[in-house]
Structure 1
Amino acid sequence: MSPPITPAEAEVFERFHDAVFVRDMEGNIRFWNCASAKLYGWPSCTALGAHARTLLQCRHEKEHYDAVHARLLADGYWEGELSRLTGTGIRRLVNARWSLRRDASGQPIGVLETGYDISSAKETERHLKASEYRYRNLFQAMAASFWELDFTAVGPKIRALLDAGVHDLEAHFLAHPEVVRDFMQSTQVVDLNDHSVRLFGRGDRTEMLGNIDRYWPDESIQVYARCVVKSLAGQPDNIEVTRMRTLEGKEFECLFTACFSKENIARGVILIGIIDLSELVEARHALEIMQTELAHVARVSILGELSASITHEINQPLTSISTYAQAGLRWLQRPEPDLREVENALVQIVDEAQRTDDVITRIRSMALRRPAQERDLALNEVIQDSLKFTDHELRKNSVRLTTDLATSLPPVRADRVLMQQVIVNLVMNAAQAMACANSSTRELTVRSALLDAREVRLEVLDSGPGIAPGLEGKLFDSFFTTKATGMGMGLPICRSIIEAAGGVIQLANRDDGKGGARVAFTLPALPQSNALGRGFPHAPS
């Protein structure tokens, strides 16, 4: 029998980077190169003469050994994956290729095997498949719309714009929306999940594939334009609230997210996610309506408590009108009518009528049910106007009012009527707290101030009993009240009004060495430049 390998072959095989060994037909190893020793961890002195299957404890991944050996004898060649145990006790997956060696008469004399380690590659492939499986499940199962977009056709269009001298793409897109539309018509939907079909389509997934232009209303196309700009700038994503359109033409508000990973951008792919905000928008609208209704109920309740003050405010000018009218008649009924006195009486009647009209207008504005109407306000003016509502109530309860209003306050942005509601509520609460406690000294201070040029603060300080221990954190809770006939909605509504205007309201006992409570709220101050532009007076130099 001829030797399984010649010296010349052995020299060549030693130069191979792959593991090469030769076994005879009984399976005993007759040649073992250095790469084999490195891969399997057995030196040639151990491997030579050993039985290959015993030494390497070989496992065929897909086929039985006898079937593989039969194929080798029939075909003269076999290739496949083998699991083998190394000298260090570690199993490695090997891609092996067997070639049958024959003598001059054609009889099999041995098997030449070359192989290389594919353990790491297989593990990577396994992780990749598992990752792809998880991604596919997430892609399909998430209760959000996910799309994969192919924008490879957009690249040449962008290069054409840059070559034409367009340096500011965002400004160019704003000035030329038709360019954005052209880009969108070149961007194709190549994959989307089932939720996307339910949200945008009519049940047919293939119907939704194609260009994305039809899903974007005119008002939203600049969102796509910003995605293009941000992806070119190397930013990781773009997240915005926008509007999109279904195949049926229905528009809805959504949270739009586009992901620009380097790997996907290199492939010309963008992944986008879309979350329908329609129900959230409807819930937010319903909440706004409910808050408006609650604020209206609270204002009507305040007006009920102020009914005596309102009656007093209206009766005063009406009494004056009657008095001046009677005086005018007397001057006219004289043998020689005094027309100058009659004229003076008529002027007074007109003034008192206007005063009555002002009171009624103020009451009507407080009683109206309407959504918030924010505008620039001079807080001191709102304070002074609000205190007119409480004048009679303060005098009835023997409360001495002091105002300490800072000059040249910057304006704030809020609803005038709602701010009046807050101030009246806070002043009334303080007056009633002092009256209910039979405080011997009933002093109320309303103070405004500017904090760090960024916030305007209003404080209401009383000389009443203060806040009882344990109640500090409860007074702003809905339906919590210390009044026998209270609803517990006044302070919670005040807080919602202040917070909606971007401010903060706090209630605590006074910390200036005097007894009583202190309630204060702050609102963001508008920049002075904005105030001047809106007609507010210049600050003193």
Structure 2
Amino acid sequence: MTKPITRAEAEVFELFHESVFVRDMQGQIHFWNSASETLYEWSSQLAVGSNARALLQCQGTGRPEAADAKLLADGHWRGELCRTTASGGRRDVNVRWSLRRDASGAPVGIIETSHDISAAKEIERRLIDSEYRYRNLFQAMAASFWELDFTKVGAKLRVLLDSGVEDLETYFQDHPEVVREYLRDTRVIDLNDHSVRLFGRGNREEMLGSVDPYWPDASIQVYARCIVKSLARHPNNIEVTRLQTLDGRELECLFTACFSKENMARGIILIGIIDLSEQVAARQALEVMQTELAHAARISILGELTASITHEINQPLGAISAYAEAGLRWLRRPDPDLKEVEMALQSIVSEAKRTDDVITRVRNMAVRRAPAECVIPINDVIRESLQFTRHQLQKHRVRVELELASSLPDIKADRVLIQQVMVNLVMNAVQAMALKENAGRELFIQTTHLLDGKIAVHIVDSGPGISEDHLERLFESFFTTKATGMGMGLPICRSIIEAAGGEIKLANRSDGQQGADIVLTLPEATADCLMGGGNSV
């Protein structure tokens, strides 16, 4: 029989935010704190005296006997378990067992502390799914992607630079044999199925080796310029060139090499190739790629907004729990207050609707589908986008000022895509302003109806502004000023706005204040759209 806990111990355990309960060596529960009641939904009266494993239906990654043996050997055990609540729900919990001993040192019981990691496990599962989807995207997109290892080239470049060579571009022009040597030393470590179809003979393993066979003599200076630009810390190199298949055919290609900091530190270059010899097929591939990249960018945005979404959902869920508990208390009174119960139930319905609205917004943003134009009010889209980013705005103490023109004509566009543009631009502004410590952070959004019939949206922030060196390059694919950015957010925004017949411009503020000024212009929906050419939502 376990040594009963003292009143002092019980009072301390009740202060814990984590679940704490005490059981004897046979598993019978002798103490069960309030946090355990909240986590597992079993009251102390029902839990005390029950067998812990039978009550909670524990499931773990290993055998229970192994955990018990380690507990007896070491005096403690830590791990993750999946348990069942009183209502039949499942909880992933992080558990720590500590052995209790009597005065002679014999084990007499176990103290368990645990906390809920269900949300973290769900996020982990979603991240794994996301990585799987991105790998499928790498394989499924109608473009050729390669991962190249240039570690040996890096070592030879250091020797070359140490020898006194300063003008690498001229040196490579004068010594093409050196470029060819570097090509032989650059290894293909991964490529997608489209690359095998385009350049190979059906055998992927055959292509995992030197990149040299794919480069005709006329194109080796493209590779040389990639080296020069990577050393100059350019984000990418994009050129039209000719590459060679294993069976000797030459293809006119759009060649892109991306030099992200993370990959360069590992000696890796990611290249993308689009076959331009079949223009129609290439255009279709670009359209598919744009849709896929827009979807990938939305998933990326949702990843950045995970904390916001969690906060948005947890607030109404917490309120629902509080209203439900209050309703139960009023019902359990000797003279139940039915009016208060009715008000609590009405609040629960309202908060449940609020939770459903959040989930609907996330689902609409995450779904992969072809663009669907419809007639939409731009002011509503702006307000919806601010709902998505509300938590980030609050977290970084950004004051938002709206000046939305009334009676604006509708626009014709894909609602989710325009929402994606707004969320991306607002997040960019928030992240820029977050770099300025102890400074006023203000975001001003204005809509106006221009004389030429177009709708203008101004997004003005109080961040550090845009470097003059970057102004002309912000819409280049893979160009980014963020350490972990992909450089695809603004190019995708521009493609979405231009597809809707509009325009996007970025500049620094012209009012003498520091910050950026982004202007979107979109055409108003035509009479045909309003009469039935588009589906209003």
**What is the TM-score normalised by the length of structure 1?**
0.46
Largest Rg, 1 or 2: 1
**What is the TM-score normalised by the length of structure 2?**
0.47
